[in-house]
Amino acid sequence: MKKIVCELCGSNDFTKENGYWVCNHCQTKYTPEEAKKITVEGIVDVSIDKTTDLHNFQKLAIQYYNSSDFEQAKKYYSKILEINPEDWQATFYYGICSSKLSNLASFKLMDSVNSAKNAINIILKADMQEKMKTEHIIEIVSAVNSVTISYQEIAFNHYNQYWEMESSTTELIRRLQICSEAYTYCFDLSRYFKLSISQFQISLAENVISICIEICQFRKYKMYVKGTELEREYQLSLANRQKYITIYQQKVAFIKSIQPEYVPPRIEDRDMTKAQGCYIATSVYKTYDCSELWTLRRFRDETLNKSVVGRLFIKFYYLVSPKIIRVFGENKIFNGFCKLILDKFVKRLQLIGVSSTEYEDS
């Protein structure tokens, strides 16, 4: 093996830069012809200067990102990370591009959140002024928030077109829950790093409030039973709804601590009052208004409620069922077992004459 030895300092540590061999010890430059003259037997220690490549990749990545060509932008952010894995911008915007390239079938909003977490870890370890770190974090929060808003719009556009299908409703809720995680992450970041822009934090809190309201909203869909079109209403289980109602209340309290005159938009809480008599059934059927629930509520009001034993059973049910739902409400085995029992019981009630038509509570 051959190596280059610097005539001035004796070093064999060289970098090839712009067609010259540069000694990393004394910075002496040699043309290729000159380098041949000072080449001796041994191992050549050569490092390639990629500063120019890095600069070009950064320029191209930003250019493509700003022109919304996220496929190309992602490619160049990837090239930057190959050279410098600690580049926070490439780390972050690679994830943003991944989110922007995804679709409804592959809802990759959380790629932006995960890339934000990685980028912030790099920023916190970097040797830079605190003011600059804060500016970078604000940039990250703003970008994730913006991507989440666009995701929410896409989800609603699809739902508005296909709302009559039950699957569209369930898919909308799933996507809104992902948006809720992203919005909450942005808000929590702004609070954790004490970003001193109160209006910015209020805006982030309002996004969380808005998404919680949408998630908890009762939504209509259509289904066909033996050729008959029925309009049903979908909602989350009570335990899951309570999670988002709590988040809603926390963010409302935060805004009121800054703006006491703030009047929040209303969140639907129908299941916290009207539906309290059917906790388990509502959790199992994922709605308060369906033929099974109408049958059960009729049986409650027209049969159980007319006897002492029946009224005692109703009171006992009201007492224990909320606690059961809080513990087992999201358990698929529990819901499957309860549904099996309730389906048989409802069928028996219908056979003895209890109607399954639409019913309003007494």
| pLDDT, position 225 | 57
CB 269 within 8 A of CB 249: no
| Residues sharing a CB contact under 8 Å with residue 277, sequence separation 6 or more, in sequence order | 297, 300, 314, 317, 318, 361
Residues 235-274 have pLDDT tens digits of: 676 667 888 988 999 999 999 998 999 999 998 765 444 4
**Sign of the alpha-carbon torsion through 144, 150, 152, 155:** negative
Q: Could you give the percent of the chain with pLDDT greater than 70?
A: 86
| pLDDT, position 11 | 78
Residues 39-81 have pLDDT tens digits of: 765 444 455 567 788 889 999 999 999 999 999 999 999 999 9
Instruction: State the average pLDDT over residues 104-113.
Output: 87
Instruction: State the average pLDDT over residues 183-203.
Output: 84
Indicate if the pLDDT at residue 2 is higher than 70.
no
Structure-model confidence comparison of residues 30 and 112, the more confident one: 112
Residues 150-170 have pLDDT tens digits of: 999 999 998 898 888 878 888
| Residues sharing a CB contact under 8 Å with residue 15, sequence separation 6 or more, in sequence order | 21, 22, 24, 46, 47, 48, 49
Identify the three-state secondary structure at position 23. strand
Assign 33 a pLDDT band (cuts: 50, 70, 90): confident
DSSP 178-206: HHHHHHHHHHHHHHHTT-S-HHHHHHHHH
Amino acid at 170: T
| Least confident among 27-31, 132-136, 245-249 | 27-31
- For residue 351, report the phi and psi dihedrals to the nearest 5 degrees: -65, -30
Identify the three-state secondary structure at position 38. coil
| pLDDT, position 98 | 94
CB 152 within 8 A of CB 159: no
CB 339 within 8 A of CB 281: no
Alpha carbon distances (Å) from 7 to 25, 28, 34, 140, 211: 12, 9, 10, 50, 69
| pLDDT, position 279 | 67
Number of residues in the chain: 362
Residues 315-332 have pLDDT tens digits of: 888 777 767 876 776 778
Q: Which region, left, alpha or beta, applies to residue 68 given φ > 0 means left and ψ of -120 to 50 means alpha?
A: left
| pLDDT, position 101 | 92
Amino acid at 228: T
Indicate if the pLDDT at residue 340 is higher than 80.
yes
Mean residue pLDDT of the chain comes to 84
| pLDDT, position 180 | 94
Q: Which of 120, 68, 121, 77 is nearest to 95 (CA)?
A: 77
d(CA 201, CA 338) in angstroms, rounded, equals: 43
| pLDDT, position 290 | 79
Residue recorded with tokens 């898919």: 171
d(CA 15, CA 6) in angstroms, rounded, equals: 12
Q: Which of 98, 93, 88, 63 is nearest to 77 (CA)?
A: 93
pTM assigned to the model: 0.63
Q: Could you give the percent of the chain with pLDDT greater than 90?
A: 40
| pLDDT, position 270 | 57
Alpha carbon distances (Å) from 304 to 52, 276, 298, 357: 81, 16, 9, 19
Residue recorded with tokens 């909602």: 235
d(CA 313, CA 310) in angstroms, rounded, equals: 5
Amino acid at 154: I
* Furthest CA-CA distance within the chain: 110
Residue recorded with tokens 């070093």: 11
